[in-house]
Chain A
Amino acid sequence: MKILIAEDDANISTIAKVVLERVGHHQVDVATNGREALDKALATNYDLLLLDGMMPELSGTEVCRQYKDQCPTPTPVIFLSAKSTQQDIQEFLQLGEGYIQKPFNPQTLCEQIEMILKVAS
């Protein structure tokens, strides 16, 4: 799968990239802010977007909203966020296909993604 990770924290994006590349053998692109993530998502055909909830320029939810508005055939979106309030989770689940709570377990991250995608399709 071709996956875009949008994450402003370089450590986290590095770890997620390594996990997805080595465990799931996916092809991974990284964006470090919301604007970049939206541009990349619209320019390239990814199979999955992993969006952080809170990012500079544009928040993850805003990226998702604009992406789904502008892209004729949007790809699934999973939020990867430290936010855990009912309100936030509801918003994530309304906008995207799923939500993974930070801190995530690197060993089960790929399984979690597969599960969400299976449920979504």
Chain B
Amino acid sequence: MKSLRSKITLSGTVIFIVSAFFASKTYEAYQDLQQTQESLSHNLLFRDFVQNIKYHDLDFKKNQKELMEKLRAFRRPIVEKERVEAVSNLIQALNSFSKELRQRRIVELLEREKAFYGLLSVRQDYHKKYLTYYMFLALASPLVGLFLFTIYLLNSVVMPLQKLSQRMMDFLIDRYTFKLATPANNEIGDLQRTFNSLAQRAINNVEELKALDRAKSEFVSIASHELRTPLTSIKGSLGLLSGGIVGDLPADAVGFIRIAEQETDRLVRLINNLLDLAKMESRTFKLNSEWISVQKLAESCLGSLQGLAQTADVYFAIQSDNPTLEARLDQDRIQQVVTNLISNAVKYSPKKGTVTLRYSIDLQNNLEIAIIDQGPGIAEHDQQLIFEKFRQATQPESKLVKGTGLGLAISKALVEEHGGHIFVNSKLGHGSTFSFTLPEWRQSEALIPQQGEAA
């Protein structure tokens, strides 16, 4: 018998049968006792009755008369007064004799009944003893049975379940204790075996995912190398030509080489962006969060784009009601987002326009950074689209730098990696505001999930 189910059913049945047996025995003993007690009371009543039988209760006179009449009718010719008297005397004598006899028999009867009473009392004591005995067993057997049954349940059901759940918890924190356990030969063992195979499968899946991730990282790394190597030669050669390092070129040629150089740079940016995106999509991406001054971050972003702003004839402004604000974030990554948003804003700004960087703590206690431009604005149906890969609403008029169509997709991924959201608020003709929130800007290192290795 292996299964817990049959064991539990069997022990339950045994407890029930034993208890029922003792209960029926108790009932029997009770009935016997009652019967004995009834007999005892009958015995007492009978003795009482017999003792109270009096001689005069019997109608001897009536018998005498009847007898005399019978005698007269029988011996009519010889009826004499003396004889009648003699018969009467005889009857009286008989009567007195029968009275004595009767008395003697009553005494005999009473003595017999008394003896019977003694016997019944012994029997009553015996039944009482057995009734107590069976009552005790009838009460004790289910109690003891339940006690043993509970211990059995604790040992073979609750304890193994507890151990199993402990193993599951261990598994959650990557301690693989389930490998050590030998499953019992019952339902809980089955459960454990199922869990073991699930755990093994999960581990295999994780290993597979890790292998895939490694393969992807490797691919990204090789692809970046393989794409950049020829680009290095192209860019280098063009640079040598356009820089006049290998001699002067005709004016027309300089123009075309400039085009080739610009497009090469665009290709380099596109590759960099694609690799960034690939890195972020693989789980090997890791944030390097540290405490920095938001004001400094803003200044550094605007500073790096000062050249672009001057070329486009656009002004920069910083707005904040809390210039000493410090936040915990990955400086390089957030700088990448802010720089991207600002360069977009500059590209779409009109001449003499202003691009404003505003940072503040919003009502939900998030750090919010907004880039506000005075450009043409974005139509409502384009506003979600622009965060997708390779999507642009309209090309900027200035065409200072051609976009790769990946900037906002990367910004979105980076902000989401920080636990935040990026969104746009714009109306055609009224400029655009790109904002993003960083909810985890105050969190300590331990609270920011860091998974995988650096790619």
The chain A residues found within 8 Å of chain B, CB to CB, are 9, 11-12, 15-16, 18-19, 22-23, 54, 82-88, 90, 102-107
Quote the shortest CB–CB distance from B224 to chain A (angstroms): 6
Select which of A11, A23, A85, A103 is within 8 A of B245 by beta carbon.
A23
Among A16, A87, A90, chain B packs the most CB atoms within 10 A around the CB of A87
Select which of B225, B243, B264, B454 is within 8 A of A82 by beta carbon.
B225
Select which of B234, B239, B272 is within 8 A of A84 by beta carbon.
B272
A9 to B246, CA, bound (A): 20
Question: Interface residues of A: mostly helix, strand, loop or mixed?
Answer: loop
Among B239, B272, B279, chain A packs the most CB atoms within 10 A around the CB of B239
- Please give, as numbers and ranges, the residues of chain A lying within 8 Å of B279 by CB-CB distance: 85
- Please give, as numbers and ranges, the residues of chain A lying within 8 Å of B236 by CB-CB distance: 11-12, 15-16, 19, 103-104, 106
Provide a sorted-by-A list of 15 A–B residue pairs whose CB atoms are within 8 angstroms.
A12-B233, A15-B233, A15-B240, A18-B245, A19-B240, A22-B246, A83-B221, A102-B229, A102-B232, A103-B232, A103-B235, A103-B264, A105-B235, A105-B239, A106-B235
Q: Inter-chain contact count A-B, CB under 8 Å? A: 84
A103 to B263, CA, bound (A): 13
Contact assessment for A22 and B245 in the assembled complex, using a CB-CB cutoff below 8 Å: yes
Quote the shortest CB–CB distance from A77 to chain B (angstroms): 19
A107 to B228, CA, bound (A): 18
Contact assessment for B275 and A18 in the assembled complex, using a CB-CB cutoff below 8 Å: no
A89: nearest chain-B partner, CB-CB: B454
Q: Given that A9-B229, A19-B245, A106-B235 are contacting pairs, would A86 and B286 also be in contact in the complex, using a CB cutoff of 8 Å?
A: yes
A16 to B221, CA, bound (A): 23
Among B229, B234, B264, chain A packs the most CB atoms within 10 A around the CB of B229
Quote the shortest CB–CB distance from A48 to chain B (angstroms): 18
Contact assessment for B225 and A18 in the assembled complex, using a CB-CB cutoff below 8 Å: no
- Please give, as numbers and ranges, the residues of chain B lying within 8 Å of A105 by CB-CB distance: 235, 239
- Please give, as numbers and ranges, the residues of chain B lying within 8 Å of A16 by CB-CB distance: 236
A22 to B225, CA, bound (A): 27
Q: Which of B228-268 contact A (CB under 8 A)?
A: 228-229, 231-237, 239-240, 242-243, 245-246, 264, 268
Quote the shortest CB–CB distance from B242 to chain A (angstroms): 8
- Please give, as numbers and ranges, the residues of chain A lying within 8 Å of B68 by CB-CB distance: none
The chain B residues found within 8 Å of chain A, CB to CB, are 217, 220-221, 224-225, 227-229, 231-237, 239-240, 242-243, 245-246, 264, 268, 272, 275, 279, 286, 288, 453-455
Select which of A15, A19, A82, A106 is within 8 A of B228 by beta carbon.
A82
A44 to B233, CA, bound (A): 28
Give 5 closest A-B pairs by Cβ, nearest first. Answer: A106-B239, A15-B236, A82-B228, A11-B233, A103-B232
Select which of A15, A18, A84 is within 8 A of B224 by beta carbon.
A84
Contact assessment for A84 and B240 in the assembled complex, using a CB-CB cutoff below 8 Å: no
Contact assessment for A54 and B225 in the assembled complex, using a CB-CB cutoff below 8 Å: yes
Contact assessment for B232 and A82 in the assembled complex, using a CB-CB cutoff below 8 Å: yes
Select which of B225, B233, B264 is within 8 A of A83 by beta carbon.
B225
B275: nearest chain-A partner, CB-CB: A84
- Please give, as numbers and ranges, the residues of chain A lying within 8 Å of B224 by CB-CB distance: 82-84
Quote the shortest CB–CB distance from B274 to chain A (angstroms): 12
Beyond A86-B288, A86-B454, A105-B239, list 7 extra A-B contacts (CB 8 Å).
A18-B246, A82-B225, A83-B224, A84-B272, A86-B286, A103-B228, A103-B235
Contact assessment for B454 and A87 in the assembled complex, using a CB-CB cutoff below 8 Å: yes
A106 to B246, CA, bound (A): 12
A103 to B240, CA, bound (A): 13
- Please give, as numbers and ranges, the residues of chain A lying within 8 Å of B275 by CB-CB distance: 84
- Please give, as numbers and ranges, the residues of chain B lying within 8 Å of A107 by CB-CB distance: 239, 242-243, 245
- Please give, as numbers and ranges, the residues of chain B lying within 8 Å of A54 by CB-CB distance: 225
Q: Given that A12-B233, A22-B245, A54-B225 are contacting pairs, would A86 and B240 also be in contact in the complex, using a CB cutoff of 8 Å?
A: no
